[in-house]
A and B are shown apart, each in its own frame.
Chain A
Amino acid sequence: MVPKKDDDDKENPDFKEPFDKFIHEPSRLKIMAQLFVVESEDFIALKVQTGLTWGNLSSHIAKLEEKGYVSVKKEFKGKKPRSWANLTSKGRVAFEEYIKSMQGFLTEKVEKGKKK
């Protein structure tokens, strides 16, 4: 759910999105938040913890990997493959910035609401 620009923002030609819209997508946000609090997780754990379907999980992981936020490592235990995902340092920084900007955005909106 991306916040809509309010009337003040629409009038401002220099309007910039207040936070990273790419991370803000709910499924990607779940994956990023989950990987932010641990060192790494395999795909099964990531699926269980985020509650996403296999299809959703793999498509969003692929997008996050493409963006350089997540790195995926495949290892084999015998014949069984196990894929591990972890946040890259770029992803960690991006998520921290996302949290900061989100907090700032919400504080600003609350202050504006109080004034109105």
Chain B
Amino acid sequence: MNKPLVELKGITKYFAKVIANKNVSFSVNDGEVLALLGENGAGKSTIMKILYGLYKEDEGQIFMNGEHKHISSPKDAMALGITMIQQHFSLVPAHTVTENIILGNVKGRIDWKAYEQKIGELAQSYGFDIDPTARIKDLPVGLQQKVEILKALYLDAHLLIMDEPTAVLTPQEASKLMGFVKEFTDQGHSVIFITHKLKEVMEVADRIIVMRDGEVHGDVKREDTDELELSRLMIGRDLKPPKKSEDAGGKDRKVVLSVENLSVIGSDDVPKLTDVSFDIREGEILGIAGVSGNGQQEICEAIIGAIPSKSGRISLAGEDLSEQNIRERLETGIGYLPADRFRDGMIMDMSLAENMLLKESFGDKWLKRGFLDHGRLRRYTEDIIKDYEVKAPGAGAMAKGLSGGNQQKVVVAREVGSGGKFIIFNQPTRGLDLGAINHVHKTILAERDKGKSILLVSTELSEIFALSDRIAVVYKGKIQGIFDHNDLTIEKIGLLMAGYNDDKGVQA
């Protein structure tokens, strides 16, 4: 039998004292698509960054075609024909496609014309519609990913590692990417595909390595397995997805949040939202689907008043919010879970109790005779920790000491507490593991069943479909349409997300 292309033997990696990879061994063969499946934090990216030379292993060895290799920098990896596309692309936004592709791969004087032509031809040979002189910041994410792939092709990569490549793509773009992966491996090359999505794995992989808690928990051929087995290997236990109760009288319930003709202009004078209108009724979840960066953030921030709107009206339970500032709006009973909890949701150097207090620090809710009532705040936080199954030593624990999932539970609890009538969940499960996702989903549905109105923004279509009563699709700051969740297919929503509309074709 032939020697495998790459073989990892007993790789162990520590970050400070935390173990990220523990005795990881697996191999990838020529012409093979290998899926590296696991939850966030399972150590998938770490092991691949070791193979690519970005991290240095603490123990273990790497073999290529049976030979022991030392890879101490991406330069070494590239010389061996290995390239890796990072989850967050490593492109220079202000530079052109050509500048990005040849960075680090040229010496001395650069003949721009010649390189631009060479890269243009390479792009064409793979059917990529990319202008070598275009600046990265002007390209949509899907094309940026193609630039990354082009970079790998330019280097004549034999093994291409892709870290969560479909996270930023529409379903159609994702299936095109799968097409490319097959074409690439048909030429005898190999691909390692990092993902946490079971569907993708079943669609594209020849073999699957399942990782959990830094260790390999399964090495199976696709034809010998199914999604159920994979999810069990990945999580280590069975998971029951929350069940949504169907709601009969939704249409007759009263409107809680009403957004009419909302338009927002960005600081660069570019319209961010154009004529956005929707209603959310009592006990209803409106899902907003779309590729990241199509106005979702602006919708949320305009509703709570964090960014000014150029025109339009926002009202909550009949009360016009348009002239109110953020604090007044929040006091009417809006909860807001921001997409980026590090930036907008928590103060990592403060305790959980202090984080619970954050948004109400100006009111007198937590005051006793003019001073903070620390005892009551602590008891309240301890209750939250219990109710939400937050893994934390106590209310006094620093937020930064918790895992992402547990931090998110704390923010969710706070916003559920302060959102008496209406809660915005912006990307509530991004970066969480399946257990935490399950918990957050249950919480969202429970709040809906209590009669609260919910705006759910998510780029994960499965999440949108599982939770929403109605679904709005955004593209370039416009609403492409609002649909009952039963009336949309993945196919149709994908087209809408990419800017196609039944009668109008591509939206400008």
Q: Is chain B a partner of chain A in the same complex?
A: no
- Point out residues on B near A: beta carbons under 8 Å: none
